[in-house]
Amino acid sequence: MSSIHPLEIPKWGMTMDEGTLVGWLVAEGSEVSAGDAVASVESSKIAGDLEAVESGILRRVLAQEGETHPVGTLVGVIADADVSDSEVQDYIDARVGAAPAPDDSGKPEETGPAESVGASEDGSRDLAPTTSTKGTSSTPAASAASAGGSGDVDDVRIPERFRGRDESPVPATPHASRLAERMGIMLAGITPTARGGRVSVQDVQKAIAAEGGHVAFGNDRPRVGRVGVRADDSQVAATPIARRLAAEHGVNLHEIRPSGRADRVTRSDVLGHVARFSSGGAAESLSAGDPAPSASGKQENPVHREPMSAMRKVIAGRLQESYQQSPHFRVTTHAQIDALLAIRAEVNEHRDDARLTVNDLVLAAAAQALVAVPGINAQYDSATETIMRFEHVDLSVAVSTDEGLITPIVRGADQMKVTEISAEVTDLATRAKAGTLTPEEFQGGTFTVSNLGMFGISDFDAIINPPQVAILAVGGGSREFVPDDDGAPVLRTLLPLTLSSDHRVIDGAMAARYCSELKRLLETPSLIFA
């Protein structure tokens, strides 16, 4: 039986309400199998792949690269080969409504954020012919006005051999296909360089320029960067999201001061640069080189405003909600970890692979302590006012990235050896910083551990990650004198441990029992390896 299958913006977690289509991985008309990645979609936290749930042919692409749509929006249709085009269209009309009839008045069609046709760099005013070699009725000049946004129609020079319509589909990026259709450009003779052997906008531009023509492809958005910088920025260190945003806004990465780790340009860096240099933008700043004078005649302290990133907004909203709705209380203890440090050194001496860290041992002990005090290993559903208690420990580990805090999950940590936990944390943290985690790898979890000891922090309070009901804050170890069994002072290494708990689910006695069990395990490290 023939069938039609939708491709929709997925929902990756409770807080996701929209997604951005980063790009299509297969061309319209291509065969796909169930499980194949057909498009890249980006949420506020991470980019993931949209997979085909059934095999078939990608019959229709309904969303373009760079577009943002609510969760559940139909962005494509997969159907069997024996499904007619009319059936596919009927399905789409039933989902999103029939497309409006074409306007014969000649009014330019409004377009989304596709590449536009801008003014010619040399100021020439050559019109593209309004007839094609294929005898079509297309008007490339009018199409240029529609795509450009400025209303100019005299900014295109298309060589004769590129005019017309392709008789059969040519693999191309959505932007290139759309512009070729509007401007009457044949893609068949253009050498493709894009992923999957597709023709890109840049390929079209280069091919036309090589024949003495000109098409000023660009983005509908105004260019906000300083025009003087035109150097190749492909080697500038930047996060994938930052690089995409810079391209969308016409900003050269060389212009942007990096703030990320290893001097990488981050999303916030790009957005801040755009806000500072955009004329009439929503967020203007006082330039560091041109501070405004005060009433007293003194120069005011320059201020730079930048919008919050989408990830930072999500983090802020969730943690504010947690702190306001969850009655936090905290229990603190200190574990003497000299024996733990000694056994760690002994184990690492005989390891040829990755070495165990103190954090690895703390995570293993935290998981085992949850088995002993299972009431901590829980979530709270505020909508139904129910407590969900879990049989196994899915341990969330706080990892700081250039785009914000993320908590990849070591699932079933209570059933893993220390070495297995160490390897899993290393892998998850590496991919978290690279932005390649899948949603199921950071959504959920039953308990969180946040360690700032490596930054020289002695102790701190952490905010609970909802819907979890507790989080462990681990500070840095310090050498201090403590009394031994005889009351004599001895020098020991103390590790501060602070448990933040939701008083709706956890009482003081339960929190104290957990901290005591965790302290016992860390001070008797052989139990961790048992």
Residue whose pair of structure tokens reads 């929209």 in the numeric block? 18
pLDDT band at residue 310 using 50, 70 and 90 as cut-offs: low
User: Whole-angstrom Cα distance, residue 46 to residue 438?
Assistant: 8
Q: Is 39 exposed, middle or buried (0-12, 13-18, 19+ CB in 10 A)?
A: buried
How much is the pLDDT for 367? Answer: 96
Higher local confidence (pLDDT), 5 or 40: 5
User: Residue 378 pLDDT more than 90?
Assistant: yes
- Torsion sign over Cα 131, 136, 139, 143: negative
* Percentage with pLDDT > 70 across the chain: 75
> Residue 290: pLDDT above 50?
no
Per-residue pLDDT for 415 more than 90? Answer: yes
Tokens of 109: 């069609």
Long-range contacts of 313-320 (CB under 8 A, 24+ apart): 313/44, 314/15, 314/44, 314/45, 315/404, 315/405, 317/15, 318/15, 318/465, 318/466, 319/463
Phi-psi region of 404 (alpha: psi -120 to 50; beta: other; left: phi over 0): left
User: What is the reported pLDDT for 518?
Assistant: 97
Mean pLDDT of 330-347: 94
- Across the range 300-323, mean pLDDT stands at 74
> Position 250: which residue type?
G
Q: For residue 261, is pLDDT > 70? A: no
Residue with the bigger pLDDT between 516 and 138: it is 516
The gap from C-alpha 466 to its chain's centroid, in whole angstroms, comes to 20
Query: Helix 508-523 vs helix 338-349: angle between axes, to the nearest 10 degrees?
Result: 50
pLDDT of residue 268: 75
Q: What are phi and psi of 87, to 5 degrees?
A: -65, -40
Q: Which of 216-225, 266-275, 306-315, 459-468 has the lowest mean pLDDT?
A: 216-225
What is the mean predicted confidence (pLDDT) over 205-210? 84
- What's the chain's average pLDDT? 77
Q: What is the rounded CA–CA span in Å between residue 384 and residue 387?
A: 9
pLDDT band at residue 448, thresholds of 50, 70 and 90?
very high
* Concatenated DSSP letters of 461-479: -----TTBSEEEEE---EE
How far apart, in whole angstroms, are the C-alpha atoms of residue 256 and residue 226? 10
Structure confidence at residue 196 (pLDDT): 66
At 176, phi and psi to the nearest 5?
A: -65, -40
Q: How many residues in the chain?
A: 530
**Do the Cβ atoms of 27 and 38 come closer than 8 Å?**
no
Q: Note whether 78 and 58 are within 8 A (CB).
A: yes
What tokens appear for 321 in the block? Answer: 């909600």
- HSE-CB at 166 with a 13 A cutoff on CA atoms is 19
d(CA 30, CA 455): 50
Pair 1, 54: CB distance under 8 Å: no
DSSP E strands in 302-403: the ranges are 328-336, 378-381, 386-389, 395-397, 399-401
Q: pLDDT value at position 433?
A: 84
pLDDT for res 387: 94
Residue 158 vs residue 511, higher pLDDT: 511
Residues known to be catalytic: 503
Mean pLDDT within 301-324: 75
pLDDT band at 106 (very low <50, low <70, confident <90, very high): very low
What percentage of the chain reaches a pLDDT higher than 90?
A: 28
Across 340-436, where does the E strand assignment appear?
378-381, 386-389, 395-397, 399-401, 404-406, 409-410
Distance (Å, rounded) from C-alpha 512 to C-alpha 524? 18
Cβ contact 396:407 at 8 Å: yes
DSSP string, 420-433: HHHHHHHHHHHHHH
Give me the numbers of helices (H) and strands (E) for the chain, helices first please: 11, 23
End-to-end CA distance of the chain: 57
- The per-residue pLDDT for 404 is 74
pLDDT for 111 beyond 50: no
Residue 375, pLDDT > 80, answer yes
Query: Which H helix or E strand runs over 305?
Result: none
Full DSSP string of 159-202:
-GGGBS--SS---B-HHHHHHHHHHTB--TTSPP-BTTTBBPHH
Per-residue pLDDT at 443: 84
Confidence of residue 14 (pLDDT cuts 50, 70, 90): low
Q: Is the pLDDT of residue 42 over 70?
A: yes
Query: Is pLDDT above 90 for 361?
Result: yes
Q: Does residue 165 have a pLDDT over 90?
A: no
The band of 47, judged by pLDDT with boundaries at 50, 70 and 90, is low
Per residue in 164-177, is it b (16+ CB within 10 Å) or e — as a string? bbbeeebbbbbbbb
Maximal CA-CA distance, the chain: 102
Domains of the chain: 4-96 (2.40.50.100), 116-218 (no CATH), 311-527 (3.30.559.10)
User: Residue 292's pLDDT is what?
Assistant: 46
pLDDT at 185: 87
d(CA 232, CA 169): 32
Decide which of 197 and 385 is more confident: 385
Are 197 and 225 in contact, with CB atoms under 8 Å apart? no
| pLDDT tens digits, 121-151 | 333 333 333 333 333 333 333 333 333 333 3
pLDDT over 50 at 299, yes or no: yes
pLDDT for the residue 174: 61
